[in-house]
């Protein structure tokens, strides 16, 4: 994906999170492709919503052979991508995605955990294909304060 498409994708995600006030936190987490999905890029924007956190995803691509419409499962795990721990939150009440205006897919989720807890607790985000598509982890990203924007 070229720089213009990356910028357009970031704008799509930023617009999908809605307007925030100065008291709300926003964090961007880059998602790294796993060995099962090489060459693809993704990111997620986390937005504080009181005792919950909203997630807006942009996925550039998926492994060949994955069925459409695209269904992705998303989890917050304890630990980091290099040393994953158990699933802390499964965000799979809906699993469908939408085609983005630029090449890729977007989707949104929420989790019943405050942003401050996510930022201080050593968590990672995992994106996985649906069971009929192999139940394969295709992206992972560590949640850190480095992407924090006020």
Query: What's the Cα-to-Cα distance from 79 to each of 11, 16, 93, 100, 137, rounded to whole Å?
Result: 29, 28, 23, 30, 15
Say if residue 29's pLDDT is above 90: yes
Residue 19 counted as domain residue:
no
Say if residue 18's pLDDT is above 60: no
Tell me how many domains the chain contains: 1
Rounded CA-CA distance 47/28 in Å is 9
- Parent domain of 118: 3-13+27-149
CATH number for the domain that contains residue 143 = 2.60.40
Residue 18 counted as domain residue:
no
pLDDT at 10: 46
Residue 84 counted as domain residue:
yes
pLDDT per residue as tens digits for the range 76-135: 999 999 998 999 999 998 788 888 777 899 999 999 999 999 998 899 999 999 999 999
pLDDT at 24: 62
Residue range 55-59: mean pLDDT, rounded: 96
pLDDT at 147: 66
């Amino acid at each position: 994906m070229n720089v213009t498409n990356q910028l357009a994708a970031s704008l799509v995600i930023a617009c999908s999170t809605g307007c925030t006030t100065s008291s709300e936190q926003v964090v961007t987490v880059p998602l790294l492709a796993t060995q099962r999905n090489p060459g693809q890029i993704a990111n997620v924007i986390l937005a504080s919503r009181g005792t919950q956190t909203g997630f807006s995803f942009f996925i550039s691509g998926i492994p060949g052979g994955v069925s459409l419409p695209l269904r992705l499962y998303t989890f917050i795990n304890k630990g980091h991508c290099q040393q994953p721990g158990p699933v802390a939150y499964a965000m799979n009440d809906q699993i469908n995605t939408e085609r983005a205006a630029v090449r890729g897919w977007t989707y949104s989720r929420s989790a019943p955990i405050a942003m401050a807890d996510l930022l201080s607790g050593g968590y990672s985000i995992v994106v996985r294909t649906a069971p009929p598509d192999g139940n394969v982890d295709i992206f992972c990203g560590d949640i850190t304060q480095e992407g924090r924007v006020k």
